[in-house]
Structure 1
Amino acid sequence: MGYKYNNRGRHSNENDEGNENYYRVKNHNHEFLSSTDYAKDEGVEHNHRIAGVTGPPMGPGKYHFHKIAVFTDTFDDHFHKICDTTGPALWLSDGKHIHLVEGTTEPEDQHDHDYFFTTLIQDPTNVPEDRNC
């Protein structure tokens, strides 16, 4: 009998695939927003804002990841491309998850920027009735 992880990070039997929560991890994406670190462009220190939505999940259940392909905002007539992959899901106590993202933008104007952020939680408006304030 095979075992895999369900969306709450616990072992489950393969027969749990009929469970609604098993599929919740399969079809979703995450929003993200952050800023890069600072770099100098012709002596002027600056950074960029990053925002977007990940692609769909890739890889196995609990350990899935997402692709990210965005451009930063513009500063002094330039911007940077980001093409990256999130880390695996980091499970929270309520059964939802986030992902870490760390990397370096593509160079532009003879410089690049590092970034480090987490995605926002998946399905943020799905709050169980017993959790409402």
Structure 2
Amino acid sequence: MGYKENQYEHCSKDKNKCLIPNHNHEFLSSTDYARDDEGEIHNHRIAGVTGPAIRFGNSHVHKVEAFTDTFGDHFHRISDTTGPAIFLPGGKHIHLLEGETSFNDGHDHDYFFATLIENPSEVPESKKC
């Protein structure tokens, strides 16, 4: 498998806004710790699925829109874009994401995580009916 230049052949005429069909990533992580406006030190969990791939140079990135879990009376929003693909043995890849949540309840949180491997639920050819 691995990276194939022709994986972008289904793109629109604007190659910088190219969507690659049927390709996204799951993600899960935790934020760093912060103190809310009542002085409680806490962090949040983050989980979700990226948007489809968007061509970026010779690679691609993904949009991420998510909410953290709720702590006490608040939660935070994440709205970001991953870095380009980091290829792994066996033709799969991941993406890194680093940023800051929305400011709620008197504070925000930093996050840093890697997406899970591309298409982890793909059924191998040997298992298909």
User: Is 1:36–2:36 an aligned residue pair?
Assistant: no
The amino acid that maps onto 2:2 is: R
State the structure with more CA Rg.
Answer: 1
- Looking at both structures, which has the greater relative contact order when contacts are Cα pairs under 8 Å and sequence separation is at least 6? 2
Structure 2 length as normaliser, TM-score?
0.78
Deviations 1:36-67 (A, max 9, x none): 00000121100000001000000148510000
Q: List runs of 5+ in structure 1 lacking aligned partners.
A: 1-6, 18-24
Identity across aligned pairs (percent)?
Answer: 64
Cα RMSD after superposing both structures: 2.5
Deviations 1:56-114 (A, max 9, x none): 00014851000001110000110001000000000001100000010000100110000
Counterpart Cα distance in 1 of 2:83 and 2:110: 16
Moved over 6 A (4+): none
Structure 1 length as normaliser, TM-score?
0.76
Counterpart Cα distance in 1 of 2:61 and 2:2: 16
Structure 2 residue aligned with 1:26: 20
Of residues 98, 121, 124, the one that matches 1:125 is: 121
Paired residues, what number? 115
Structure 1 residue aligned with 2:89: 93
